[in-house]
Structure 1
Amino acid sequence: MPDPLIRRAGPADAETLAAIGAETFVETFGHLYPPPDLAQFLAEAYALERTRADLADPAKAAWLVEADGEAVGYALAGPCGLPHAEATPDCGELKRIYFRKAWQGGGLGARLFEETLAWLQARGPRTVWIGVWSENHGAQRFYARRGFEKVGEYGFEVGATVDREYILRRDAVSFTAAGAKLSSNEHNPA
């Protein structure tokens, strides 16, 4: 089987991006929510028009991971919108990064993460933020190994359900140093 391809998503990818987004969210978190809450969230967060707007926004970028022409993962990045007093739109945010379960754990997440962060830093070092579910310990460890620290919490709404999310941040200065370490020491992390 050929190596999966990571590529920037464009306007023609809106339907694929919306579909893989909804599918991976349900596969990862769907069991946590009552069906009406989940349906309401999916209709808002992964609506085709919202996806098209994200792809048309020059301040945002999305990537698709494809294996044999099939989408198996994706990422979305852009200006920070997390509810933290120190977060500004000038900061970057990794808004979403998901894979189908069968494609998790083989190093693709690290490759996609590095590509996404390189785009966020393309115009110079800046602070990068991430929101992560409080119970997603694997993701928290992944981000901690890459220099992110917990700096806050907020309520993430999925319909009427409110989850506790952690706000993680990596400062621009520490990102530059950590980025150099990643390039030389972690070519293909877990």
Structure 2
Amino acid sequence: MNVTVDNIRLRRATPADTAVLADISARSFTETFGDSYPPQDLADFLRDTYSHQAIAALLNDPSYAAWLLERDGVAVGHALAGSCGLPHAEVAAGDGELKRLYVLREAQNGGWGARMFEAVLEWLQRDGPRTLWIGVWSENYGAQRFYGRYGFEKVGAYEFVVGDTRDHEFILRRDARSAPSPA
């Protein structure tokens, strides 16, 4: 799904986008959560999680898909989806997960987060309905409400580890049989 409106474009990322996706991933995580972690823990996490090698591996794996949101050709958001890797006893083979969805502050409130999420949902459901999962920070109430409008419900919790910091995260799930459109 490629969408262009005025100077903003949403498109599926390719392996040629490794550097761009690594950069926007690190920038958006830092903008959103950077002040939550000791500097060295954050630096180590960014180096390990958003390195060119890590991003290239995801972009070359057919069980993952990524999207870039660009304004005037510059990345201002991204999303990543793939097989579910959340620590929940009911996760089954074939379940999908939204792994990341970020829009930089400068590009928020234009409906692009929803458009990106809908592109992710379409890709995750490409072979038919399946159970979908999302991990979300327990204090990100706006995201929890947003995902709730798409039928996701809290079914568990886990710790998201960045160095010595343990963030309390919620696990959200939408059963394969329930796929509402947001109101």
Cα distance in 2 between the residues matched to 1:61 and 1:104: 22
Q: Distance in 2 between matches of 1:34 and 1:90?
A: 36
State the 4+ residue runs in structure 1 displaced beyond 4 angstroms.
Answer: none
User: Which residue of the other structure, out of 145, 148, 157, is the alignment partner of 1:153?
Assistant: 157
Q: Counterpart of 2:89 in 1: which secondary structure?
A: coil
Residue by residue over 1:56-93, the C-alpha shift from the partner in whole angstroms, topping out at 9 and shown as x without a partner, is 00010000011110001000000000000011241000
**Aligned-partner Cα distance in 2 for 1:110–1:3:** 17
2:48 is aligned to 44
Match of 2:143 in 1: 139
For 2:89, the aligned partner's letter is A
One-letter amino acid of the counterpart of residue 150, structure 2: R
Taking the TM superposition and a 5 Å limit, the aligned residue runs for 1:80-99 are 80-99=84-103
- Structure 1 residue 3: deviation in Å? 4.2
> Is 2:62 the partner of 1:58?
yes
1:14 aligned partner, one-letter code: T
Aligned residue for 1:113, secondary structure, equals: helix
Letter in 1 for 2:136: V
Find the aligned partners of 2:108 and 2:89 in 1 and give their Cα distance. Answer: 33
| Superimposed CA distance per residue, residues 161-186 of structure 1 (whole angstroms, 9 cap, x where no aligned partner) | 110000000001102xx0xx34xxx5
Q: What is the aligned counterpart of 1:30 among 10, 30, 34?
A: 34
Which residue identity lines up with residue 79 of structure 1 in the other structure? S
Deviation at 1:145, TM superposition (A): 1.2
Q: Which of residues 6, 10, 17 in structure 2 aligns to 1:6?
A: 10
CA distance in structure 1 between the aligned counterparts of 2:99 and 2:45, rounded to whole angstroms? 16
In terms of fraction of residues, the more helix-rich structure is 1
Q: 1:42 to 1:89 in 2, by over 3 A?
A: farther
Partner of 1:126: 130
Q: Which secondary structure state, in structure 2, belongs to the residue aligned with residue 169 of structure 1?
A: strand
Structure 2 unaligned residues grouped into runs of 5+: none
Letter in 2 for 1:102: E
Residue 159 (structure 1) shift:
1.1
SS of equivalent to 2:54: helix
AA of the residue aligned to 1:69: G
Q: Percent identity?
A: 59
Whole-Å Cα distance in 1 between the matches of residues 152 and 25 of structure 2? 24
**Pick from 94, 99, 117: which aligns with 2:121?**
117
Q: How does 1:171-190 map to 2 (within 5 A)?
A: 171-175=175-179, 178=180, 181-182=181-182
User: TM-score with structure 2 length normalisation?
Assistant: 0.95
Within the candidate set 102, 107, 113, 2:106 is matched to 102
Question: 2:163 & 2:11 partners in 1: Cα distance?
Answer: 32
Contact 1:81/1:89 (8 A) holds in 2: no
State the TM-score, normalizing by the size of structure 1: 0.92
Matches of 2:12 and 2:92 in 1, distance apart? 25
Unmatched runs of 5 consecutive residues or more in structure 1 = none
Q: Aligned to 1:57, what secondary structure does the other structure show?
A: coil
